[in-house]
Amino acid sequence: MLVNAGAHLVVLDFNNVIETRGNLITMADQIKRGVVWVYKNATSFGGNPDRIHISGHSSGGHWVGVLLTTDWQKEFGVPPTMIKGGVAGSGMFDLKPVRLSARSNYIKFTDEMEETLSAQRHLDKLVAPVAIVYGSAETPEFQRQSRDFAAAIQTAGKPMSLSVMEGYNHFEVWEQLANPYSLFGRAVLNQMNLRPT
């Protein structure tokens, strides 16, 4: 869908949570460095470093929130507006409830990790528009996290949109990312000013 519409698609790779021994900060650093690499090398593969958009679902939706609330200038010496927009599908944007869940069995949560990687707590750093997508048949916590993140962004006076995919569960939302006519696929294309072909 994205390539056909004229975008360059970059899929970042990073260690999984088991390989990092439960350290999400390590994963965040790998993902951030990957985005910086794309920014610095985009022209070498025909991309445009001034048109970087990110999207993700579930844990990927969480990482979209983290990336959009990163102080890029301070951490990596790149422009704070390097990322032009993000689409976060069914993500977690406040890690306190996640820390209280069974995930704490394999994620070594600390207060610093919870604070640093809770995008909803760092909206002062948000400089790009955010599209948030979730399904009405998802579990209540996924729905609440998306709604609360959207409300917090709106309260902060930042550009955002919220789309609810009626009748879709968590996994069905993901399956619609590559469908240019779904709410999720359209959100990604619209943010980049692209149209399906």
List the domains of the chain with CATH numbers: 24-191 (3.40.50.1820)
- Give the model's pLDDT for residue 31: 98
φ/ψ of 66, rounded to 5, equals -60, -45
For 55-95, where are the alpha helices, taking DSSP H only? 59-68, 72-76
46 φ/ψ sector (left φ>0, alpha ψ -120 to 50, else beta): left
Confidence of residue 197 (pLDDT cuts 50, 70, 90): confident
Average of per-residue pLDDT values in the chain: 97
- Give the integer Cα–Cα distance in Å for 83 and 97: 28
- Give the integer Cα–Cα distance in Å for 56 and 78: 22
Tens digit of each residue's pLDDT (9 = 90 or more) over 80-119: 999 999 999 999 999 999 999 999 999 999 999 999 999 9
R_g over Cα of the chain: 16
For 83-132, where are the alpha helices, taking DSSP H only? 96-99, 111-116
pTM of the model as a whole? 0.95
**Contact criterion met (CB below 8 Å) for 66 and 59:** no
Residues 10-20 have a mean pLDDT of: 93
